[in-house]
Structure 1
Amino acid sequence: MAATAWIGCSLWDGVADTWRDDAGLVVGDDGRIAFVGAADEALAIARSADTGTDGPDGTAGVVELDGARVVPGLVNGHVHFSLALPGPMQDSVHSSTEADLVLLMAGNARDTLRAGITSVRLVGESRFADMALRRAIDAGLVSGPRIRTAGHALCCTGGHGWDADGHEADGADGFRRATREQLRAGADLIKVCISGGIAGEHEAIDTPQLTQDEMRAVIETAHAWGRKVTAHAGPAHVSEEAVALGLDGIEHGYELTAGLCASMAERGVWYTPTISVSRCEDFFVSNGVPTWMIDRALGAGPRHWESLQHAIAAGVPISLGTDMPPQAAYDGTTATVREMEHMQDAGMTALEVMRASTAAGAEWMQEQGQYGTLVPGAAADLVVLDGDPLADVAALRELWGVVKGGDVVRDDRGALRARVLS
């Protein structure tokens, strides 16, 4: 259709502090938002876009939402579509052919999109299958969220992630080359593992793994190419060194301090807490994760929670990320929604969590206004539901409609089919 008006909803655009009632938006045939405002204005604009040709391809359309709530599609900033935790998951990825791997990732991408996550930031995949999947999604060959990817995560020899196809390197020159290899493959950002974590058997969370020269080589090389760098990080003293060197983001941050968070806030360093990974015992057990990793993850939980609260109190910019598969079943909902509930329980308001889960993801990538918000020029990525997630993000447990780029990808009620305007 030349243009489609979505009308009769309460709309939150990812920017405002509250809902716009009796709202409408117009989606052009390019899948981008042409107008946001009053429902009657949206109808008028859609009609004016009618080309006047015969048949539905040249006419305006309308979707009547009957009071439903509409929010931007969610943005999950810490995703691995080829997640390879120790145990059967890792064995499966390592034994897979490249074709197997791409199909596995494509299935995860499809299910992620249906769960309401319309954009993802991949932070460490295998064999550059992420690049192939990104191309296929962009070309419309398979269904999935918008992908921004780091390629392989970088680590020292034997460092965190080496057994999950992390790119091992040593010395400043080695890390400089490794960074350039990800950029050559098409990386949108760089991910580097600067300490141990919960999934490395022969390390501890607080094991430092890169020298300052190695960290500097990654950060300076990526920045020279216009890419941001985020770091898998556990202890505060390692993170402090990286932040001082110009790091852009911290993933997990299992042991942040109030002082470090104050420095992060001052420098605009982002935090993606992935708080779920230190409290998702059922997920670990169901996927055959070894006991040593489960014990380490759960043991990190109290300090991890405190880190998130330090970040909230200091005003650190926070973006949503799960590390768990975004669509994975978790406590009666998806990992993505459960992560949002954890963030709210830790002290963020529902509005702050919603911003961290939509607009913030695009801002992290310096792509404000392209997705994550419902404003003119942005991709028409919508989540449709009945409840009020600005009051309690648990309302997202009952989402029933998902739209990406103007295309309906989930419609549990059969209510999102556009009819031709007469």
Structure 2
Amino acid sequence: MTDLLLHHATLFDSEAGRLVPDAAVHVRDDRVVAAGRADDVPVPADAVRVDLGGGYLLPGLLNLHTHLSISLPGAAGDRVEAMGPHELALYMASGAERTLLAGVTTVRCVAEKSGADFALRAAIEAGEVRGPRVFTAGRALCCTGGHGAGSPDTLECDGADSFRRGVRSQVALGADLVKVMVSGGIAGEHEQISTPQLTDDELAAVISTAHDWGRKVTAHAGPAAVIARAVALGLDCVEHGYQLTPEVAAQMAAAGTALVPTLVVTRCGAFFDELGVPAWMQARSLGAADQHAASYRMALEAGVEVLLGSDMPPFWDFEGTSATVRELEHMAVLGAPAGMTPARALQAATIAPARWLGAEDRVGVVAPGRFADLVLVDEDPTADVAALRTLRWVMKGGRVVRDDSTDLTRRAR
């Protein structure tokens, strides 16, 4: 066994939402043995001591809206769509490693191509590929011609029986959750955000079948009326929620339905330009920004649990930081009038998504028995989440995977 003592740091206690000064963390192999004030953390005499230089130590970030095989309309998306299975696997493996190096130690994939996510998850767990811990929905379920149709990251179904089979097919492959497209979105040329796409029978079939198999359901959903129908049928999570109303937000809060707002997707013109995304999609996306922000604030005011998810690749270099950090900045700034503090935003990136996944006994908090998944930043993230832009060190499962103090390339940036 290898014992490490991480010391000379301030620790963010994600459960309490507060800082622990003069903290230490005892790590043995891949797990945390003890964490707290340094004087309260007993450590074996032969432990290797790691001086963290007075930084701020947090649980590794969780990103709950990830597509490592994303292919939006445009030239870059066309290239991904044209990849064969071997090239796609390598492409996703590269994205997984870059995600981990960006401080995201756990992801929830919510539509990936051709089952490659299951192979990637297995390779990461076997130590053959560096990447975050992966929870995946496999292929998302949609109706014929619905949102995402025509790509191998969706499975087209029609009718309640077909959707039941769709759920079972992804569970049989090893899906941790189920993703369903219940409305139109910003990336569908022949639909609108407000277009409803499933009947109540189809929705009920997805949700009840998934729950029977012990899986939660998250839904790509924009309009309030469609979300209200899905929440009434037991939906566990809403992705985007572009067009909420106070009444539907209150319904979500009462039902315990979470929201992954993905605010960055209506604020990413430069990303779209980089990918060659067509003008019609850019107009629809960027034109939805104000209503999207208002809907997010409605959810906060109603008491809905909000969770971090970028939709953009988590590692993407965007506006001076990663897409994950940029999303968290939007959550903090746009949510401030509705009570979103920096500490609460950090919880939305750590313990809250871990609880949704049922994985709080493994990730999302620095506490005994949890995986030693940790990130270090130079500035106080409870004062401003933009402090995550100073990230300089990442540990996953007790192994340091990024240390800018020994990486001349990163120190030069």
Using the size of structure 1 for normalisation, the TM-score is 0.93
Give RMSD over aligned pairs: 1.1
Alignment of 1:174-323 (within 5 A): 174-323=162-311
Deviation at 1:69, TM superposition (A): 1.1
For residues 48-88 of structure 1, what are the alpha-carbon distances to aligned partners after superposition, in whole Å with 9 as ceiling and x for unaligned? Answer: xxxxxxxxxxx531111231110110000000000010112
* 1:69 counterpart residue number: 56
State yes or no: 1:377 paired with 2:365.
no
Answer yes or no: is the 8 Å Cα contact 1:83–1:89 preserved in 2.
no
Deviation at 1:39, TM superposition (A): 2.1
Deviation at 1:16, TM superposition (A): 2.0
* 2:5 counterpart residue number: 5
CA distance in 2 between partners of 1:191 and 1:412 (Å)? 37
> For residue 24 of structure 1, what is the amino acid of its counterpart?
A
Gaps of 5+ in 1: 48-58, 416-422
> For residue 23 of structure 1, what is the amino acid of its counterpart?
A
CA distance in 1 between partners of 2:263 and 2:85 (Å)? 31
Runs of 4+ in structure 1 over 6 Å off: none
CA distance in 1 between partners of 2:314 and 2:100 (Å)? 9
Secondary structure in 2 aligned to 1:366? coil
Deviation at 1:40, TM superposition (A): 4.2
* 2:378 counterpart residue number: 386
Secondary structure in 1 aligned to 2:406? coil
For residues 173-209 of structure 1, what are the alpha-carbon distances to aligned partners after superposition, in whole Å with 9 as ceiling and x for unaligned? Answer: 0000011000000000000000000000100000000
Alignment of 1:13-162 (within 5 A): 13-29=13-29, 31-42=30-41, 44-47=42-45, 60-162=47-149
> For residue 58 of structure 2, what is the amino acid of its counterpart?
V
Answer yes or no: is the 8 Å Cα contact 2:11–2:36 preserved in 1.
no
Answer yes or no: is the 8 Å Cα contact 2:17–2:347 preserved in 1.
no
CA distance in 2 between partners of 1:126 and 1:331 (Å)? 28
Identify the match of residue 410 of structure 1 among 402, 406, 411. Answer: 402
Greater shift in the superposed pair: 131-140 or 341-350? 341-350
Identify the match of residue 349 of structure 2 among 326, 332, 357. Answer: 357
CA distance in 2 between partners of 1:164 and 1:77 (Å)? 21
Secondary structure in 2 aligned to 1:62? strand
> For residue 394 of structure 1, what is the amino acid of its counterpart?
A
For residues 274-309 of structure 1, what are the alpha-carbon distances to aligned partners after superposition, in whole Å with 9 as ceiling and x for unaligned? Answer: 000011000001101111100100111111111101
> For residue 22 of structure 1, what is the amino acid of its counterpart?
D
CA distance in 2 between partners of 1:280 and 1:196 (Å)? 19
Count, aligned residues: 402
For residues 381-420 of structure 1, what are the alpha-carbon distances to aligned partners after superposition, in whole Å with 9 as ceiling and x for unaligned? Answer: 11111101111000001110011111101100139xxxxx
Answer yes or no: is the 8 Å Cα contact 2:77–2:275 preserved in 1.
no
Answer yes or no: is the 8 Å Cα contact 2:351–2:363 preserved in 1.
yes
CA distance in 2 between partners of 1:284 and 1:164 (Å)? 19
Deviation at 1:38, TM superposition (A): 2.9
Answer yes or no: is the 8 Å Cα contact 2:375–2:395 preserved in 1.
yes
* 2:411 counterpart residue number: none
> For residue 137 of structure 2, what is the amino acid of its counterpart?
A
Identity %: 52
Deviation at 1:330, TM superposition (A): 1.6
Answer yes or no: is the 8 Å Cα contact 1:5–1:46 preserved in 2.
no
> For residue 60 of structure 1, what is the amino acid of its counterpart?
A
For residues 215-248 of structure 1, what are the alpha-carbon distances to aligned partners after superposition, in whole Å with 9 as ceiling and x for unaligned? Answer: 0000000000000000000100000000000000
Gaps of 5+ in 2: 408-413
Secondary structure in 2 aligned to 1:69? strand
CA distance in 2 between partners of 1:329 and 1:46 (Å)? 41
Deviation at 1:339, TM superposition (A): 0.6
Secondary structure in 1 aligned to 2:238? strand
* 2:410 counterpart residue number: none
For residues 133-153 of structure 1, what are the alpha-carbon distances to aligned partners after superposition, in whole Å with 9 as ceiling and x for unaligned? Answer: 000000110100000000001
Secondary structure in 2 aligned to 1:19? strand
